[in-house]
């Protein structure tokens, strides 16, 4: 099901300049997003052995191409992990080459605008620049948007949440036609692993509350509210220790994997195995499975496994 059209009046020069935009105070901003229900040939694609761009090209082609997710003249929001002032080699952020390639595919599919946004932990301009993502997005024809202004986040009710009952979500996410979630697979001190569901903390304003009130349950609760149209897990370089910040390249292992799918829980479960853990060892995966956000039972899914 398509998201409502983004309020055109709100899009101005500030987006291109990298500053957050504002929209009309309209209750239509707060409705629950629903992801597309297009029939796909596979539930998940797991690909290994190539560069980030080559792996994505093959993986998205096996799902029928980006046109399965993006239609002409639609507004797309791509949400990588850009949380840290860190270079790509330290694997704290999503691989910039992958982000740029996803933007290119969206534009080739006919997207009118492709925005890239994250609510960063470190100072946002340094995160965007030093991660390499800002440059990659601009070269690909996308638009960088800051996520550092509280006025761009709007209250929503998390009806399915057990602990998390409300949140403030970035307006671009609420009003996009297509939402693509692009986390990097890495260790995390509080969540054990940071993958698809954890990456969604970068679209909310009040995330510090999550850390103080059962982080794992809050991550699972939020998964009942927003379901991206497509999840692309970057596991090219994997931060195996001392995440999520990325302290040293000595903590990074080059694994050359990607996982694609519409089910965040399934994508997280598959990525957990790539990391070397069982899904049951990452509590929010089981919690989200129990809440009905998706499935962690990979043996029940049709998975396309590709080696380059």
Quick check: 8 pLDDT over 70?
no
For 259-295, how does the pLDDT look when each residue is reduced to its tens digit (9 = 90+)?
A: 999 999 999 999 999 999 999 999 999 999 999 999 9
Please provide the DSSP assignment of 43-111 as one string.
SEEEEESS-HHHHHHHHHHHTT-GGGT--TT-EEEEEE---SS--GGG-SS--HHHHHHHHHHHHHTT-
The tokens describing 108, both together, are 């080739």
User: What's the mean per-residue pLDDT of the chain?
Assistant: 90
Quick check: 222 pLDDT over 70?
yes
pLDDT of residue 3: 41
pLDDT of residue 60: 98
The tokens describing 230, both together, are 């497509």
**3-class secondary structure per residue, 17-32:** HCCCCCCCCCHHHHCC
For 21-54, how does the pLDDT look when each residue is reduced to its tens digit (9 = 90+)?
A: 333 333 333 333 344 545 899 999 999 999 999 9
CATH topology for 38-307 is: Rossmann fold (3.40.50)
Pairwise CA distance, residues 219 & 191, whole Å: 9
pLDDT of residue 37: 46
CB-neighbour burial class of residue 189 (10 A; exposed 0-12, middle 13-18, buried 19+): exposed
- Let me know: does 118 contact 81? Beta carbons within 8 Å: yes
For 150-209, how does the pLDDT look when each residue is reduced to its tens digit (9 = 90+)?
A: 999 999 999 999 999 999 999 999 999 999 999 999 999 999 999 999 999 999 999 999
Write down the domain spans for the chain: 38-307
The tokens describing 221, both together, are 């609760």
């Amino acid at each position: 099901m398509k998201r409502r059209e983004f309020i055109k009046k709100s899009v101005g020069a500030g987006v291109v300049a990298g500053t957050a935009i504002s929209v009309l105070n309209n209750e239509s901003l707060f409705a629950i997003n629903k992801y597309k229900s297009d029939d796909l040939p596979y539930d998940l694609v797991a690909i290994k052995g190539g560069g980030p761009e080559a792996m994505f090209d093959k993986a998205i082609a096996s799902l029928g191409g980006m046109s399965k997710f993006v239609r002409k003249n639609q507004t797309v929001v791509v949400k990588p992990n850009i949380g840290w002032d860190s270079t790509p080699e330290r694997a704290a952020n999503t691989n910039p080459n992958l982000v740029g390639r996803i933007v290119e595919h969206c534009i080739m599919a006919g997207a009118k605008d492709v925005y890239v946004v994250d609510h960063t932990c470190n100072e946002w301009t340094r995160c965007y620049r030093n991660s390499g993502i800002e440059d990659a997005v601009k070269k690909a024809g996308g638009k960088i948007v800051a996520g550092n202004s509280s006025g761009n986040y709007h209250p929503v009710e998390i009806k399915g949440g057990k602990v998390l009952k409300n949140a403030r979500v970035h307006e671009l996410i609420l009003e996009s036609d297509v939402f693509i979630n692009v986390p990097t697979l890495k260790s995390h001190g509080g969540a054990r692993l940071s993958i698809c569901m954890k990456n969604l903390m970068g679209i909310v304003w009040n995330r510090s509350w999550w850390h103080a009130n059962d982080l794992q349950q809050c991550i699972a609760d939020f998964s009942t509210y927003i379901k991206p149209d497509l999840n692309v897990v970057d596991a090219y370089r994997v931060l195996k220790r001392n995440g999520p910040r990325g302290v040293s390249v000595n903590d990074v292992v080059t694994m050359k994997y990607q996982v694609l799918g519409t089910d965040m829980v399934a994508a997280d479960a598959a990525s957990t195995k790539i990391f070397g853990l069982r899904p049951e060892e990452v509590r929010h995966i089981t919690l989200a499975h129990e809440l009905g956000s998706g499935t962690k039972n990979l043996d029940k899914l049709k998975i396309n496994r590709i080696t380059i």
